Amino acid sequence: MAERARRGRGGGGAARRAERSAVSFETAKFIERNIPNFEVLTEEALEIIEHNAETVLEEIGVNFPDNPAAIQRWRDAGADIDGERVRIPRGLARKLCATAPSEYIQHARNPDRNVVVGGKNLVLAPVYGPPFVRDATGGRRYATMEDFNKFVKLAYMSKWLHHSGGTVCEPTDLPVNKRHLDMLHAHMTLSDKPFMGSVTEPSRAQDSVDMCKILFGDQFVQENTVMTSLININSPMTFDDVMMGALEVYAQNNQACIISPFIVGGAMAPVSVAGTLTQVLAETLAGIAYSQLCKPGAPVIMGAFVTSIDMNSGAPTFGTPEAAHITYGAGQLARRLKLPFRSAGSFCGSKLPDAQAAYETANSLNMGLLSGVNFMLHACGWLEGGLVSSFEKFVMDADQLGTLHHLARGVEIDENAQAMDAIREVGPGGHYLGCAHTQANFKAAFWKSDLLDYKPFETWEDEGARDTQALASIRVEKMLGDYQQPPMDPAIREALDAFVAQKKLAEPDSFM
Within positions 156 to 185, which residues make up the interface with a copy of itself, using CB under 8 A? none
Residues from 66 through 105 that contact a copy of itself (CB under 8 A): 85
Helix (H) or strand (E) holding 230: strand 228-233
Closest CB to a copy of itself among residues 316, 487: 316
Closest CB to a copy of itself among residues 192, 322: 322
Please state the closest distance from residue 488 (CB atom) to a copy of itself, in A: 36
Stretch that binds a copy of itself, among 42-50, 93-101, 141-149, 372-380 (CB under 8 A): 42-50
Stretch that binds a copy of itself, among 67-75, 190-198, 302-310, 337-345 (CB under 8 A): 302-310
Residue 143 has φ and ψ, to the nearest 5°, of -75, 150
- Identify the residue among 27, 30, 54, 61 touching a copy of itself (CB under 8 A): 61
The contacts of residue 279 (CB under 8 Å, 6+ apart) are 53, 56, 235, 236, 237, 261, 263, 269, 270
Contact flag: residue 508 with a copy of itself (CB under 8 A): no
User: Within 253-386, where are the H helices?
Assistant: 273-294, 321-336, 355-370
Stretch that binds a copy of itself, among 47-55, 152-160, 165-173, 244-252 (CB under 8 A): 47-55
Closest CB to a copy of itself among residues 103, 453: 453
Closest CB to a copy of itself among residues 29, 455: 455
Residues from 458 through 497 that contact a copy of itself (CB under 8 A): 460-461, 465, 467-469
Residues from 363 through 402 that contact a copy of itself (CB under 8 A): 363, 366-367, 370, 384, 387, 393, 396, 400
Contact flag: residue 42 with a copy of itself (CB under 8 A): yes
- Identify the residue among 419, 474, 480, 495 touching a copy of itself (CB under 8 A): 419
Collapsed DSSP state (helix, strand, coil) of residue 474:
helix
Closest CA to 122 of 402, 310, 428: 402
In terms of phi and psi (left: phi > 0; alpha: psi -120 to 50; beta: otherwise), the region of 470 is alpha
**121 contacts 103 by C-beta, under 8 angstroms:** yes
Q: How far apart are the first and last CA of the chain?
A: 42
Residues from 330 through 369 that contact a copy of itself (CB under 8 A): 349-363, 366-367
Number of residues that bind a copy of itself (CB under 8 A): 126
- Identify the residue among 22, 315, 498, 501 touching a copy of itself (CB under 8 A): 315
Residue 60 has φ and ψ, to the nearest 5°, of -95, -50
Closest CB to a copy of itself among residues 96, 324: 324
How far CA 56 is from CA of 83, 87, 461, in Å, comes to: 17, 9, 60
Contact flag: residue 120 with a copy of itself (CB under 8 A): no
Residue 343 has φ and ψ, to the nearest 5°, of -170, -175
Residues from 216 through 275 that contact a copy of itself (CB under 8 A): 234, 236-238, 265-275
Closest CB to a copy of itself among residues 52, 102: 52
Burial of 127 (0-12, 13-18, 19+ CB in 10 A): buried
Collapsed DSSP state (helix, strand, coil) of residue 81:
strand
Closest CA to 161 of 212, 205, 124, 190: 124
Stretch that binds a copy of itself, among 32-40, 101-109, 188-196, 491-499 (CB under 8 A): 32-40
Collapsed DSSP state (helix, strand, coil) of residue 168:
coil
C-alpha torsion angle, residues 437, 443, 449, 451 (rounded to 10): 130
Contact flag: residue 309 with a copy of itself (CB under 8 A): yes
Contact flag: residue 141 with a copy of itself (CB under 8 A): no
- Strand-pair category, 115-118 with 103-106: antiparallel
Stretch that binds a copy of itself, among 36-44, 88-96, 100-108, 292-300 (CB under 8 A): 36-44
Please state the closest distance from residue 72 (CB atom) to a copy of itself, in A: 19
- Identify the residue among 3, 13, 20, 427 touching a copy of itself (CB under 8 A): 427
- Identify the residue among 312, 464, 481, 508 touching a copy of itself (CB under 8 A): 312
**180 contacts 207 by C-beta, under 8 angstroms:** yes
- Identify the residue among 280, 324, 379, 395 touching a copy of itself (CB under 8 A): 324
Helix (H) or strand (E) holding 309: strand 305-309
- Strand-pair category, 256-264 with 305-309: parallel
**151 contacts 168 by C-beta, under 8 angstroms:** yes
Residues from 121 through 140 that contact a copy of itself (CB under 8 A): 140
Stretch that binds a copy of itself, among 115-123, 149-157, 167-175, 403-411 (CB under 8 A): 403-411
